[in-house]
Structure 1
Amino acid sequence: MLPSWLDVVADPILEATKAPAVGELHGELLRQWGSSEVWRLSFGLNSVIVKRGTDGQADEAAAYERYVVPLDLPAPELIHRHRSGDAGVLVLADVGRVTLEQEPTAEGFAAGAELLATIRGRPVTGPSEFPPERVGEMAARIGRIEFGLRPLTDALAAVHRDAPTAVVHGDFVPKNLVTDGTRWTAIDWPGAYQAPHLSDLYTLVRDAVALGHDRAPIVAQYTEAAGGNPAVVERQMLVGGGCFYLVALMFIVEEGLRTIPESVHWIDGLLTELRDLVGSLA
């Protein structure tokens, strides 16, 4: 049974799929969290992805307007957007049925590194949205960090001096990397912002290592594709990891505890990983 909220985007869905009526569509629920719901709707060989988001997921269209469209980033085409109250609904092109999470191959992780190099290669204007002072601001909002973050703050300041600001996807993990068998695409852009760190490469490598892959070829693939300095890339990635943990912890404390109750069990692990990473920066 299809969700009732599809009514607000029925016309663009029918136009894209060539279905004669909503009742003729085949619906496949792809993902459902407290703040987002994602469906594949198909009619014959035609299909679209429809995503409804609330809270932090409600305004993904803003990331499309600010980054994806003007920079021609490797993301699904935005067919239609609708905003009503606290919820946003997007109709997106269907860019593939296989994610890196479903088929976590070494080749897939290397492709993800190249995809990230493409994203980071697009020039942006304006200042970083994750300046060094934000470390302390976020720690105060999280309120559960009982160790010093000065090494991370100092290292982030150095990265701002040594590396250019570029787009950060914000959730560059296997479930958000999709392939149609020929090309890879990054999906799920509501957390995008701009900064010089490489939290996206950090999360990609973190998941690869957890699955038993060697980190070195993935980092080397990115460095070569981006034309980066290996030492700077390593520093950008490590600092980006610290930024990733702060963002994740702040999400849990300010939204996740309400929308994803089980996220309370993620806090201790994230704090431990953040503490270890900060120790490596000292």
Structure 2
Amino acid sequence: MERPHGLGRLSAHLEEPLAGGNVATSVVRAGSTVRKPWTPATPSVHAFLRHLHAKGVAGVPAVLGRDDQGRQVLEYVPGRQGDAAPPMTVAELRRLGAMVRDLHDASIDFESPPGARWEVAIPPDGAELVCHQDLAPWNLIRDGDTWTFIDWDACAPGTRLWDLAYVAQTFAPLVAGGDPEADAPRLRAVVDGYDLDAAGRAALPEKLVVRTRAMYDLLARGSRTGAVPWARLWAEGHGVHWGGAADYLAAHLPVWRSALR
């Protein structure tokens, strides 16, 4: 378990609550740091983030340890949250795909610490490498030319395609009411930036549907069981969003296949 790194208690008036997430609670900014709850998965998450930093991967916040209130301490990243910015251009989507490819490639040789624990809301389709699992606009901070992914608490073993499908769906974005002919080049831009091989391109269209439907199923299950925060998100209409997106993707599979061929 990590010990405090000399990051003492800050008085409440120096802590600023951070908003914008759908799941995390009690996340605050304290100067140049972010303080958030320590979970059973935090030691594994921090080990993974330190591995990425050691590999020189861009777009990852620095881990600063644990404070005397038992909270995890991370680098505060200034900038604009991605879902508050205009949709990405095609060039930006290519850059995004390349960024995700760098993250995945740097993850291949990560060795999980003994007894590693991970927070897994949706079981992935395999355990090829550790992935962020929630690479979406609301977890991307943009400050000029500097892009940083935040909120790594749900990172866990998964697969390249599972992670990439979520990236493409959320950033393109591929949602109900979209125009398939306009969306297809945006999907291709992400995949081209990632430099996905032919086998991956052939498998990705169906994976888009499965990955997106998994989000709907998570929320629907939460609405039945009352599990937090999924039941709340369902009540707020997120289930309608994810279900509609999955239906849209399934209805236009030939378009996605053609775009990626």
Q: Does 1:207 align with 2:179?
A: no
Counterpart contact for 2:141–2:150, Cα < 8 Å: yes
What is the CA deviation profile of residues 186-211 of structure 1, one whole-angstrom value per residue up to 9, with x for unaligned ones? 11122222214233333334537679
Q: Distance in 2 between matches of 1:233 and 1:98?
A: 31
Counterpart contact for 1:113–1:221, Cα < 8 Å: yes
What is the CA deviation profile of residues 49-85 of structure 1, one whole-angstrom value per residue up to 9, with x for unaligned ones? 222266xxx63442232x322233532111113699x
Q: Distance in 1 between matches of 2:211 and 2:4?
A: 36
Q: Match for 1:104 among 67, 83, 86?
A: 86
Query: Unmatched 5+ residue regions in structure 2?
Result: 111-121, 255-261
Equivalent residue number for residue 148 of structure 1: none
Q: Say which SS state the counterpart of residue 120 (structure 1) adopts.
A: helix
Paired amino acid for 2:26: E
Q: Say which SS state the counterpart of residue 83 (structure 2) adopts.
A: coil
Distance 1:274 1:33, change over 3 A: closer
Equivalent residue number for residue 189 of structure 1: 152
Q: Say which SS state the counterpart of residue 49 (structure 1) adopts.
A: strand
Distance 1:50 1:190, change over 3 A: same
Name the Cα RMSD after superposition: 4.2
Counterpart contact for 1:203–1:241, Cα < 8 Å: no
Which protein shows a greater Rg? 1
Counterpart contact for 2:33–2:75, Cα < 8 Å: yes
Q: Does 1:236 align with 2:204?
A: yes
Q: Match for 1:70 among 51, 59, 64?
A: 51
Q: Does 1:118 align with 2:118?
A: no
Distance 1:98 1:267, change over 3 A: closer
Q: Match for 2:7 among 4, 12, 19?
A: 12
What is the CA deviation profile of residues 149-208 of structure 1, one whole-angstrom value per residue up to 9, with x for unaligned ones? xxxxxxx7xxx8xxx934432111111011232321111122222214233333334537
Q: Distance in 2 between matches of 1:114 and 1:210?
A: 26
Aligned residue pairs: how many? 225
Structure (1 or 2) with the greater strand fraction: 1
Q: Say which SS state the counterpart of residue 101 (structure 1) adopts.
A: helix
Distance 1:75 1:244, change over 3 A: farther
Query: Unmatched 5+ residue regions in structure 1?
Result: 1-7, 15-20, 127-137, 140-155
Equivalent residue number for residue 92 of structure 1: 74
Structure (1 or 2) with the greater helix fraction: 1
Equivalent residue number for residue 4 of structure 1: none
Distance 1:118 1:215, change over 3 A: farther
Counterpart contact for 1:242–1:277, Cα < 8 Å: no
Q: Distance in 2 between matches of 1:246 and 1:49?
A: 30
